[in-house]
Structure 1
Amino acid sequence: MSSIDYSEKIPNNVNLSEDRTLQRALEHWQPNYLQWWNDMGPDGSQNFDVYLRTAISVDPQGWAQFGHVKMPDYRWGIFLNPGEQDRKIHFGDHKGEAAWQDVPGEYRANLRRIIVTQGDTEPASVEQQRHLGLTCPSQYDLRNLFQVNVEEGRHLWAMVYLLHRYFGRDGREEAEALLERNSGNADNPRILQAFNEKTPDWLSFFMFTYFTDRDGKFQLCALAESSFDPLARTTKFMLTEEAHHMFVGESGISRVIQRTVNAMNELKTDDVAKLRAAGVIDLPTIQRYINFHYSVTIDLFGADESSNAATFYSTGLKGRYEEGKRQDDHLLKGQTYKVLNIEGDKLVEKEVPMLNALNEVLRDDYITDSRAGVERWNRVIEKAGIPVKLTVPHKAFHRNIGALSGAKVSPEGRVVSEQEWSQRVNEWLPSDEDRAYVGSLMGRVVEPGKFANWIAPPVMGVNRQPVDFEYVRFN
């Protein structure tokens, strides 16, 4: 078990006290981080005592303790998985060499860019979600939101440590800039567009934590293969926390669907107007939210053909998802992969060098994983005896990056005219009316054990506590 020293000003398991220069630099960054949390973190919640999980080791068998804590006092810190003795690079041009403990000079700029881009997503999602506590559907959900927020904050610390420790002055400047950019800021936005979108309501939040945090899982898994050992060890520990975020999303949507199908059976109707009059979220609206969040998220994997992806792989900076389980030469020279293009009114597949298609390989792995959760939602609908199936839309639907950028494609994968798109876009993506209706349901419910009308209670509480436990104490 690799325990964490909580007696330090910055809790860590990297012997920070042995590097006084680094420790001072991070202690200088810490007040700026807390100021950012005050300004941009969960709105109006600084004095709440929240039932949070804190890592006490990086051992997956026993790494967490629970207790009520004020979020600004949360023990953020720097936690890396234990190093693997004599770890070897297992893909790319350096395959078979010893993993790097320092940054090779020739890869410095690319590595810094990868770390900064990952680091930028973490505070961005806290900023996107900062007002959600004001409209929470229950105390249980409010606590889960806050747990996600503090862990995203810790993931920012993880990337900032790497920048400070391995990139000198450039790294310190990048770490400062991570607190200066803000989600949706017209002058200084976050790096990736999905992290500048609003998260205006809890249905969007659950979709974000299911779909967009799942992108985080796949990106972190690819970075956990990195030849740069400190990055690989950092991201492996982050994945332990990322799993909770996806659980919040998947179980949240499942509970929304459960409440809806219960109402459909009680009222014996699938009429959208009647279901909305009853204050639940109809299945067609849920489908449109899926279409939006899924399509925005698969854009995050980047262009389908990318020389950067090829470079990151060949130089050993970023592997594939579950690289070690793949049965090939882990060099990929001479191998090909199919990507989609649009020719006239048809989608066509074309073979491209696999090294250039690695974004697409990761996107396809993500798509397979995403579908599995949607099938679990379908089982809730099926159990209620309702003949409706939710689906993820076609990969070419509503894309804004790569060869499919701006293509007009239906959720089923049919290329459509501009006219048909504009006539039917409100069937396929959330309309202003949908968003206004979902927004109208967002009243704050904070009495222990009580839930908003549009969502079912969970099957069990957090850490074996009852569902009506006092998860948040409002001071």
Structure 2
Amino acid sequence: MSSIDYTDKIPNNVDLSQDKALQRALEHWQPNYLQWWRDLGPEGSQSFDVYLRTAVSVDPQGWAQFGYVKMPEYRWGIFLNPREEGRQVNFGEHKGEAAWQDVPGEHRANLRRIIVTQGDTEPASVEQQRHLGLTAPSQYDLRNLFQVNVEEGRHLWAMVYLLHKHFGRDGREEADAMLQRHSGDADHPRILGAFNEKTPDWLSFYMFTYFTDRDGKFQLCALAESGFDPLARTTKFMLTEEAHHMFVGESGVSRVIARTCEVMNQLRTDDPAKVRAAGVIDLGTIQRYLNFHFSVTIDLFGADESSNAAIFYNAGLKGRFEETKRDDDHRLQGRTYKVLAVQDGQLVEREVSMLNALNEVLRDDFIKDSIAGVNRWNKVIEKAGLPFRLVAPHKAFNRKIGTLAGVRVSPDGRVVSEAEWAAHERQWLPGAEDRAFVASLMGRVVEPGKFANWIAPPVMGINRQPVDFEYVRFN
């Protein structure tokens, strides 16, 4: 079904009321989720009326409606794309077989691991961003933050439904554990490293939603190819919501750049100290933030060679980005792919089995997509008539996972000594001084149509509303 039933306690389009045991289990989990939201969701926002979109259908022609909602009353639910009759497994050893509606026993542990890892990222990002509302640069941006937050919460529900429905007691325990791990917690951290980093300021938030939510896009696209049909249908709808998160990031960074360029032209200077003195973020700092978030995010794809990636692909559990559009046999036996290694102090390429390099394949697809957005940011600088250009760093830069972990590589791809790294690290990555300066600019602006000095207004508002629309009502 495409329409969503909002009469149930848990909105859904999966006929939840027909499975009483599952319905009871999810309704038992729901209060724990709401308590987590109250404890670790957006700080101080419980009484606000926020102009949010809510899914009302999975029909791409009209899947959402907008209206004021108090966030603790947001109707989080379970939404799957319609089932595609005759769908088959499109890759791996099971290629050509009917897609699975139930978990194949031999793949149970791997499927559960995939779903838990994806699910764990969703509440983690809400936790990372929970304080940002206190320093929002405008109502427009505050509303966008809250929209991202409630949809990340909805994406947690998407994975929890799969765990409850298809994995029995194990699945229920995994769903409980996702509310017990917390971002940055010393004893119970989130599974993936990037989701234990702080998101202390809005430039970090925009970079996170541009780069790290883009990792989410590519991971979800790979899972949308899964031979396990409920997972594929779930992630396809998640991708519909994810697009807005990346828009928030790309447009946010673009607006920061536009305001900086405007001030640079007014002052006729590119001196970072003078630009900062005018209360905007200099382009060099933006580049360092870009370097950090890009490098942290590409680590999320995992080791460049991975037997798990090969197992997931062969089993038909996780495909490549746009798997069915690729012109090969979708089995990859005998195929190779180039990965990086260090030899005699230089980065070199070596051929390895493509099945073992599927993390690297997905990482390279992500990098290509990310660079396209960086080029769009450069158009803003170019239009302002300034010679500076942002550059995505080399994929070996600042890596913590895989063959390149701990290898000192400059943003332009040179292997460097510890001494050279130490001498240039503050030029390449944001330091305490950069973060303190950006933090000093963060002050809450809540009057409709007003914006902090360091960011330009958007070109248009949300859902055809004016930019000075009252996006948040502070009751």
Band of TM-score, shorter chain: over 0.9
The corresponding residue for 1:285 is: 285
The corresponding residue for 1:178 is: 178
The corresponding residue for 1:73 is: 73
Deviation at 1:171, TM superposition (A): 0.2
2:344, 2:460 → 1: CA distance?
52
1:193, 1:88 → 2: CA distance?
34
1:302-324 deviation digits (Å, cap 9, x = unpaired): 00000000000000000000001
1:278, 1:100 → 2: CA distance?
59
The corresponding residue for 1:443 is: 443
Q: Following superposition of structure 1 onto structure 2, how do residues 2-401 of structure 1 map, counting pairs within 5 Å?
A: 2-401=2-401
Alpha-carbon RMSD: 0.5
Runs of 4+ in structure 1 over 4 Å off? none
SS at match of 2:285: helix
SS at match of 1:180: coil
1:372-430 deviation digits (Å, cap 9, x = unpaired): 00000000000000011101000100000000000100000011110000010000000
1:185, 1:426 → 2: CA distance?
27
SS at match of 2:460: coil
SS at match of 2:403: helix
SS at match of 1:352: strand
1:128-177 deviation digits (Å, cap 9, x = unpaired): 00000000000000000000000000000000000000000000000000
Q: 1:202 is matched by which residue type in structure 2?
A: W
2:69, 2:320 → 1: CA distance?
38
Deviation at 1:344, TM superposition (A): 2.8
Pairing 1:457–2:457 present: yes
Deviation at 1:60, TM superposition (A): 1.3
Which segment is superposed worse, 341-350 or 74-83? 341-350
1:363, 1:324 → 2: CA distance?
18
1:33-85 deviation digits (Å, cap 9, x = unpaired): 00000000000100000000000101111001000000010010000000000
1:224-254 deviation digits (Å, cap 9, x = unpaired): 0000000000000000000000000000000
Structure 2 unmatched runs, 5+: none
SS at match of 1:404: coil
2:187, 2:56 → 1: CA distance?
39
SS at match of 1:403: coil
Q: 1:331 is matched by which residue type in structure 2?
A: R
SS at match of 1:402: coil
Deviation at 1:110, TM superposition (A): 0.3
Deviation at 1:106, TM superposition (A): 0.5
Q: 1:449 is matched by which residue type in structure 2?
A: G
Q: 1:323 is matched by which residue type in structure 2?
A: E
Q: 1:185 is matched by which residue type in structure 2?
A: D
2:242, 2:249 → 1: CA distance?
11
1:350, 1:309 → 2: CA distance?
18
Deviation at 1:215, TM superposition (A): 0.1
Equivalent residue pairs, number: 475
Q: 1:443 is matched by which residue type in structure 2?
A: G
SS at match of 1:379: helix
1:95, 1:274 → 2: CA distance?
61
2:450, 2:410 → 1: CA distance?
40
Q: TM-score scaled to structure 2, two decimals?
A: 1.00
1:5, 1:193 → 2: CA distance?
37
Pairing 1:417–2:417 present: yes
Q: 1:326 is matched by which residue type in structure 2?
A: R
1:7, 1:115 → 2: CA distance?
28
2:344, 2:253 → 1: CA distance?
37
1:8, 1:281 → 2: CA distance?
48
